Structures are given as structure tokens and as C-alpha cells.
Amino acid sequence: MNGSSPTLSVQVDITNPGQFFACCGLLEVAHRVWCPGPAEGWFTDGQFWLARRDGKSAEVAELIKAVLECDVRAISVNDPKTDPIELGDPIGIRLDWWRRSDGSTNLFKTWAANATSLQMFRKWREPLRRCLDSINGQPGKILTLSYRVQGSYGFDSELGWDALRVGFSFNEHGGLRKLPTRPAVELFGAIGLQRFFPKCDGENHVVGYSPWRVPLTAPVAAAAALGLVPGVTLYRLRTRFISRGSFKGLDTAIILEGGSS
């Protein structure tokens, strides 16, 4: 990274897999929007940084605008509930991380049977637009913005929608199902998972990922997140899918012993 490159940072809790994947999504969108780039991203203590190499101002608002305004359409394959979706310009990416190559779904397909993949992505755009005023000139807090929406992709570990964590069953309190979710985590996490899909143990529902500590472009950072780039890993983390009533989601990750390298 050139020391004079414009940068921005957002607050992140790397033990929250949703926030980690959202940071990956921020880098992915920057990689595509900040042309000719390349954009670089990296993690430090409690922060995710993005550097812009074209000399222009690095603004998170530009990345948010791209996600809010790009065309979104489903690509008809075999089932609207799980069909791939395509984000148009200026992002230009196909999302189908919830599908295996044979068309079946993997661990990360967590949404209810009556929701489609297109609805799941679109449902977060208006909530994000509505809560942007809450930033109050502090764009680094984008991943903490919350809005009451029913449902989630399931990668934000702070959404503990199970009876054990909240002390009662949501099946008996239907009016409380719209809990404060984080639309930026949902949207950017959904984008980040496409390139940064983690190591998964399907049998044990375990997921592993690794934040990196040096500036990397999106293609290299995706390898680093899998622990495949020597000398750049900040920590190795492990999480797992847990039950949230009739749904499931990722738990808070633990830092593995000997995880720094």
C-alpha cells in the first residue's frame, strides 16, 4: 500500500462472522466500484481498513450507494427460493454461494422456505437506506446500524434468536420477531460470501475463517481468509451453526490457540 493512498475504516468485531463477511463484502464492492483500483483491505485491532489506489477520496457512502442502487434480478435456474441473483452495474456480480455445483443447497442456505433468494437480498436495501441518518457523520459505525426486520441471513452472531438466549420462545411471541438486525451486515455479508466462502465442515456444521493483517486486494485476500497466504494471518477463528428456533445461524467465533502467524 502506498502511504499516501486515501483510506477509510469501519469498526468490526472479528469474532462476529457476519461482520467479518461484511468487511469482505466492502472490499469486494470497492474492488469493483473504485476502478481502475486496485482497492486493498486489511484488519487491525477492532478496525477494517480500505485503501484506494486511484488517488480519489475513499468514501464508504459510495460503496453503500452502489449496493442500494444497482439493479438486482434473479437468474432462473430451477427454484426461485434458491436461484442465483445478479447485481448489475456498478458492482456486476453473481451471487449463488448458498448453492452447490449440483444445484442443492449448502449450510449457508438459512432462510425460510417461503422466501426467495431475490427477496432475501432486496429486503435489506430499504432498511439500510432508512437508518443511514443514524451514522451522524461517523461512517465507521456502518456495521452497527440496526433496523427492525423479521429474518436474517444468519451470519450475524449477535442475533441470538433462540429460547435459551432470550429466555422465551418466539413461537409464543410473534409480535417480537422483528428484532434489530443490521442491514449493512446482511447486504455486504451476502456479497462478501461469494468470493470469501469459508472452510466448512458440513458434518459438524463448523466454519473457519482468518482475518488478514496486511493490505491485500480482493482476490489475494480471499485466499488469505482461507489461511492459504503465509505470514499474513491475524488470527484463525472457528464458529458453527446453531439452532435459532426453527432456523439456524452462526454463533460467535472463537480464536483458535496458535491462530496468529
In the predicted model, is pLDDT for residue 86 greater than 50?
yes
Per-residue confidence (pLDDT) for residue 11, from 0 to 100 = 96
DSSP 256: P
If you average pLDDT over residues 163-180, what whole number do you get?
A: 45
If you average pLDDT over residues 48-69, what whole number do you get?
A: 93
Give 189 or 173, the one with higher predicted confidence.
Answer: 189
Write out the H or E segment, with its range, that includes residue 179: strand 178-181
Q: How far apart are CA 243 and CA 228, in angstroms?
A: 30
DSSP 105: B
Cell of 99: 448453492
Q: Cα dist. 196→49, 71, 151, 190, 222 in Å? A: 17, 22, 23, 10, 5
CB burial class (10 A; 0-12, 13-18, 19+) of residue 27? buried
Q: How far is CA 70 from the centre of its chain?
A: 17
Q: How far apart are CA 141 and CA 152, in angstroms?
A: 20
If you average pLDDT over residues 65-92, what whole number do you get?
A: 95
Residue 235's nearest CA partner among 251, 256, 215 is 256
Per-residue confidence (pLDDT) for residue 169, from 0 to 100 = 39
Torsion of CA 103, 107, 109, 112, to 10 degrees: 120
If you average pLDDT over residues 39-58, what whole number do you get?
A: 93
Q: How far is CA 42 from the centre of its chain?
A: 15
Q: How far apart are CA 233 and CA 258, in angstroms?
A: 11
Q: Which of the four pLDDT bands, split at 50, 70 and 90, describes residue 188?
A: very high
Per-residue confidence (pLDDT) for residue 159, from 0 to 100 = 78
Q: Which of the four pLDDT bands, split at 50, 70 and 90, describes residue 178?
A: low
In the predicted model, is pLDDT for residue 116 greater than 60?
yes
The pTM (predicted TM-score) of the whole model is 0.90
The region of weakest confidence among 67-81, 106-120, 170-184, 209-223 is: 170-184
Q: How far apart are CA 188 and CA 147, in angstroms?
A: 15
Q: Which of the four pLDDT bands, split at 50, 70 and 90, describes residue 171?
A: very low
In the predicted model, is pLDDT for residue 246 greater than 60?
yes
* Mean of per-residue pLDDT scores for the chain: 88
